[in-house]
Amino acid sequence: MTTAAIFGLLGTELSKAERDFFRSADPWGFILFARNVEHPDQLRRLTGDLREAVGREAIITIDQEGGRVQRMRAPHWAEWAPPLDDAGRGPQAMRLRYRLIGQELRAIGIDSNCAPTLDIASDETHPFLQNRCLGRDVASVVANGRAVADGLLEAGVVPIMKHMPGHGRAVADSHKETPLVSAPLDELNQTDFATFRALNDLPMGMSAHIRFSDLDDAPATASARMIGVIRDEIGFDGLLMTDDISMNGLSGSIGQRSAAAIAAGCDLVLHCHGHMSEMEEVVAEAGEMTPDAIRRGDAALSARRAPDTAPAAELLAEYRSSGGQVDWPHA
> For each successive 10 residues of the chain (331 residues), what is the average pLDDT?
97 98 98 98 98 98 96 97 91 97 97 97 86 94 98 98 92 77 94 98 97 94 97 98 93 96 98 97 98 98 91 95 91 62
pLDDT at 123: 87
Q: How much is the CA Rg of the chain, to the nearest whole Å?
A: 18
pLDDT at 308: 84
Architecture of domain 3-324: Alpha-Beta Barrel (3.20)
Task: Find the Cα–Cα–Cα–Cα dihedral 212, 130, 39, 157, rounded to 10°.
Answer: 60
CA distances from 303 to 49, 148, 205, 271, 279 (A): 23, 15, 14, 23, 27
pLDDT at 331: 62
Q: Is 173 exposed, middle or buried (0-12, 13-18, 19+ CB in 10 A)?
A: middle
> Nearest-CA neighbor of 329 among 60, 77, 42?
77
Task: Locate all alpha helices (DSSP H) within the chain, ordered by sequence.
Answer: 16-25, 40-54, 83-87, 91-107, 138-154, 185-190, 192-198, 224-228, 254-264, 276-286, 291-302, 312-321
pLDDT at 144: 97
Domain ranges in the chain?
Answer: 3-324
pLDDT at 174: 73
- The percentage of residues in the chain with a pLDDT greater than 70, rounded to a whole number, is 99
175 is catalytic: yes
pLDDT at 300: 98
- Find the catalytic residue in 243, 244, 267, 308: 243
**Tens digit of pLDDT for each residue in 123-138?**
888 888 888 999 999 9
pLDDT at 252: 96
Could you give the CA distance from residue 24 to residue 31 in angstroms, rounded to a whole number?
A: 18
Q: Mention every residue, 6+ apart, whose C-beta is less than 8 A from residue 64.
A: 70, 71, 72, 101, 104, 105, 110, 113, 114, 115
- Cα angle 102, 303, 114 (rounded to 5 degrees) comes to 45
Provide the CA 36 distance to its chain's centre, in angstroms. 17
Q: What is the pTM of this model?
A: 0.96
123 is catalytic: no
- Find the catalytic residue in 126, 175, 273, 275: 175
